């Protein structure tokens, strides 16, 4: 296993300067940044949209087209030698997560293919999935080195000259606390207290053996200017048809001892086959197939296979405002409903089952500890999360978030409807959760946005509490489960709806509001209402809310340049501060809300298509979306964000169905 602490290189994109951690295991998937050349934006920041994502469901890496910050973190860069002006293109190899970066100039063309190997073994995949779902190794897999012997813990980077010649530079500076560096020809070893890494180079002369000068790669120990310890550098020339493959792996993983070109070729071929086999399960064949397929690939990369958890994003604490500090990423309960819904509707039954199993495992552990369900977990299912600049995170440390029960129960209901039926023991957990919701539904919280000024009666949270009770009642009816408190549940469900309609709707504004105590504040989170069947998309109250949100902020709305803000932050004392961007997820929610309203009011459907096509233009060159989009059009926050891509898939799926008359 890659160690989740020591094997993290970070530092491109200044936001990562806010990444601080203890030396114990961190909650997110290990991510490190691979950098291929040097270029800053005019603002001096590193654009988060300049990255692609690779991974193997144990670890993942962001691969930049351009950008390196040598002053603040480790990096592994491969690209044209300094002084060469190149045009850079980046794309995924067809139907895969193998990422290719291409550098072109008059003298030559150089390709760099980046990937983590995956074995293409359907039998082993199924056997491992069974272990995960039944929890036989949950909590142990993350610490064992042989939980999947056929999975190579390698990072592979293949550099090939496609035309002419190419002068190549390599730099590798791991960001360990302390490490030593050993050089031996085409090998380099980095040793730290907890992890040692081995870098090797494999030269392939192609079809020109003996006809032209062979590539010569010699690693040189190079001191770091940022006191990270010595790294290695190399400079070499490739002629047309020649290539060099670099493999970074655990030093203890010496199978095979010598990595040959045929080995690399086989590993790459099997990895490509694996991704093709996996994505072939997709049921989506609509108008936006390229974008949806890439979103599905991203969700798979954000999956931690040993537990089935899906992290919110691979990056850690990229701020929502340039220079800001607010954001943190784990596996969030709030993602449950959308995650299960998308996985099941798109045909990925194994992933949905594993994720559902993960969620029920956490419910059982919360029950054992006699505590409220945590807002988030580590990818291993832990809730004892270390302090990592979390002093502000009141929602986790002190408050009891109420909305998460709605997302959770909706996910369980959808899993029963489209996937594997809920078991009786699982139903008992559902009953306990619903009884608990009936006790606490009148309490205040900080809702989906985790505002930090004070707890309020947020409309979104009340809708989610209604969802929690409603889905439990539906599940009881569909599965004929015993429900001794059915009448109480019915009473509470009705009370919640009546209260929201009475206190959460402003008749003068003609719209649902953010909270009972803030009568003039819109909140795009209420766009979820028809998506979860709290109200009909044709209900005049919701249509009024929709029309209001569609207005620009200066006219009392939340939509600008076809993008939706979560609320008017200039009028809200939310305790966060800063100038945030428009929210990708909320914009996709708007598309889906317009789509559903368009079934009854024809004027909304063209708007849904226009806004959907518009936000797709704000994705990066690989169709990746971050959490937010700045007024300048740059992406902000953690990237790629799972919730953004889940909302994208849902919007595309439902828009396709409506346009097709289904």
Query: What dihedral do alpha carbons 303, 199, 114, 305 form, nearest 10°?
Result: -10
Of the two residues 498 and 636, the one the predictor is more confident about is: 498
**Cβ contact 278:343 at 8 Å:** no
Tokens of 238: 């490739």
Does residue 256 have a cis bond before it (omega within 30 degrees)? Answer: yes
Q: Which residues pair with 582 in a beta bridge?
A: 629
pLDDT at position 434? 96
Residues recorded for the chain? 662
- Token digits of residue 387: 């302090």
Q: Please give the average per-residue pLDDT across 599-609, as a whole number.
A: 96
* CATH number for the domain running over 14-117+152-279: 2.70.98
Distance in angstroms (rounded) separating the CA atoms of residues 285 and 292: 9
270 token code pair: 């099997």
The reported pLDDT for the residue numbered 287 is: 96
pLDDT at 435 over 70: yes
Task: Of 392, 375, 384, give the one whose Cα is nearest residue 327.
Answer: 392
Tell me, what's the pLDDT at 456?
A: 92
Residue 251 has a pLDDT of: 86
Cα atoms in the Cβ-side hemisphere of radius 13 Å centred on 103: 28
227 confidence band (pLDDT: 50, 70, 90) = low
Higher confidence at residue 518 or residue 211? 518
Residues of the chain with CATH 1.50.10.10: 289-659
Strand order in the sheet with 628-629: 582-583, 628-629, 635-636
Cβ-count burial of 569 within 10 angstroms (0-12 exposed, 13-18 middle, 19+ buried)?
middle
Phi, psi of 496 (to 5 degrees): -60, -45
Q: Is the pLDDT of residue 556 over 90?
A: yes
**Mean pLDDT of the 286-312 span:** 93
**pLDDT tens digits, 132-186:** 887 644 444 454 444 788 999 999 999 999 999 999 999 998 877 778 889 987 8
Highest mean pLDDT among 185-189, 389-393, 526-530: 526-530
pTM of the predicted model as reported, rounded to 2 decimal places = 0.88
Phi, psi of 646 (to 5 degrees): -65, -45
Alpha-carbon span 219 to 234, nearest angstrom? 5
Pick the more confident residue, 583 or 229. 583
Alpha-carbon distances of 317 from 13, 323, 385, 636, rounded to whole Å: 11, 11, 15, 11
- 289-659 topology per CATH: Glycosyltransferase (1.50.10)
What pLDDT band is residue 70 in, cutting at 50, 70 and 90? low
Residue intervals of the chain classified under CATH 2.70.98 are 14-117+152-279
pLDDT at residue number 190: 92
pLDDT range class, residue 221, cuts 50, 70, 90: very high
Residue with the two structure tokens 């946005």 = 449
For residue 328, is pLDDT > 70? no
Mean of the per-residue pLDDT values of the chain: 83
pLDDT of residue 480: 96
What would you report as the CA-atom Rg of the chain, rounded to the nearest whole angstrom? Answer: 25
Q: Quick check: 540 pLDDT over 50?
A: yes
Show the tokens assigned to 257: 């001892």
């Amino acid at each position: 296993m890659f160690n989740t602490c020591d094997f993290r290189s970070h530092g491109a994109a200044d936001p990562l300067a806010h990444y601080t951690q203890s030396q114990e295991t961190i909650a997110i998937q290990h991510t490190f940044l691979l950098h291929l050349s040097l270029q800053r934006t005019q603002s001096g920041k590193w654009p988060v949209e300049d990255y692609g994502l690779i991974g193997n469901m144990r670890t993942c890496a962001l691969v930049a087209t351009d950008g390196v910050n040598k002053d603040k973190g480790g990096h592994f860069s491969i690209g044209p030698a300094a002084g060469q002006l190149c045009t850079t293109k980046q794309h995924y190899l067809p139907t895969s997560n193998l990422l290719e970066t291409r550098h072109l100039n008059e003298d030559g063309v150089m390709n760099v293919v980046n990937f983590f190997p995956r074995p293409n073994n359907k039998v082993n995949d199924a056997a491992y999935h069974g272990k995960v779902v039944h929890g036989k190794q949950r909590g142990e897999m993350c610490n064992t080195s042989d939980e999947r012997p056929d999975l190579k813990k390698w990072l592979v980077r293949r550099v090939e000259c496609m035309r002419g010649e190419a002068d190549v530079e390599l730099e590798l500076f791991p960001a360990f606390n302390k490490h030593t560096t050993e050089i031996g020809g085409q090998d380099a070893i980095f040793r730290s207290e907890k992890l040692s890494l081995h870098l090797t180079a494999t030269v392939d002369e192609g079809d020109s053996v003996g006809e032209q000068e062979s590539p010569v790669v010699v690693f040189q120990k190079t001191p770091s200017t940022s006191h990270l310890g010595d790294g290695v550098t190399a400079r070499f020339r490739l002629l047309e048809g020649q290539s060099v493959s670099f493999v970074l792996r655990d030093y203890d993983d010496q199978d095979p001892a010598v990595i040959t070109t045929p080995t690399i070729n086989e590993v790459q071929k099997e990895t490509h086959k694996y991704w093709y086999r996996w994505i072939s399960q997709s049921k989506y064949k609509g108008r936006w197939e390229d974008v949806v397929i890439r979103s599905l690939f991203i969700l798979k990369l954000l999956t931690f296979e040993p537990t089935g958890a899906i992290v919110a994003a691979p990056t850690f604490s990229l701020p929502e405002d340039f220079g800001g500090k607010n954001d943190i990423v784990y596996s969030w309960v709030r993602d449950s409903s959308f995650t299960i819904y998308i996985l099941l509707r798109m045909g990925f039954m194994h992933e949905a089952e594993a994720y559902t199993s993960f969620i029920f495992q956490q419910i059982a552990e919360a029950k054992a500890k006699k505590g409220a369900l945590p807002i988030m977990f580590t990818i291993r299912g832990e809730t004892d999360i270390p302090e990592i600049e979390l002093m502000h995170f009141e929602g986790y440390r002190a408050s009891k978030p109420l909305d998460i029960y709605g997302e959770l129960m909706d996910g369980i209901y959808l899993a029963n409807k489209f996937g594997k039926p809920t078991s009786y023991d699982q139903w008992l957990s559902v009953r306990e959760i619903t009884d608990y919701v009936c006790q606490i539904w009148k309490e205040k919280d900080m809702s989906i946005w985790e505002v930090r000024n004070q707890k309020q009666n947020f409309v979104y949270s009340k809708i989610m509490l209604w969802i929690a009770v409603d889905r439990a009642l539906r599940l009881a009816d569909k599965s004929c489960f015993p429900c001794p408190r059915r009448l109480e549940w019915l009473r509470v469900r009705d009370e919640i709806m009546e209260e929201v309609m009475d206190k959460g709707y402003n008749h003068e504004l003609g719209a649902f509001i953010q909270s009972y105590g803030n009568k003039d504040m819109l909140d795009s989170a209420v766009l979820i209402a028809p998506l979860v069947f709290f109200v009909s998309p044709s209900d005049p109250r919701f249509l009024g809310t929709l029309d209001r949100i569609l207005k620009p902020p200066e006219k009392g709305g939340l939509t600008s340049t076809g993008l939706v803000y979560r609320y008017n932050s200039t009028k809200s004392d939310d305790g966060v501060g800063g100038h945030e961007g428009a929210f990708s997820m909320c914009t996709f929610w708007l598309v889906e809300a317009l789509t559903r309203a368009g079934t009854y009011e024809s004027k909304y459907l063209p708007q849904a298509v226009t806004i959907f096509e518009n936000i797709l233009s704000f994705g990066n060159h690989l169709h990746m979306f971050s959490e937010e989009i700045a007024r300048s059009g740059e992406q902000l926050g953690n990237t790629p964000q799972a919730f953004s891509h889940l909302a994208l898939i849902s919007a595309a799926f439902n828009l396709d169905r409506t346009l097709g008359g289904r």
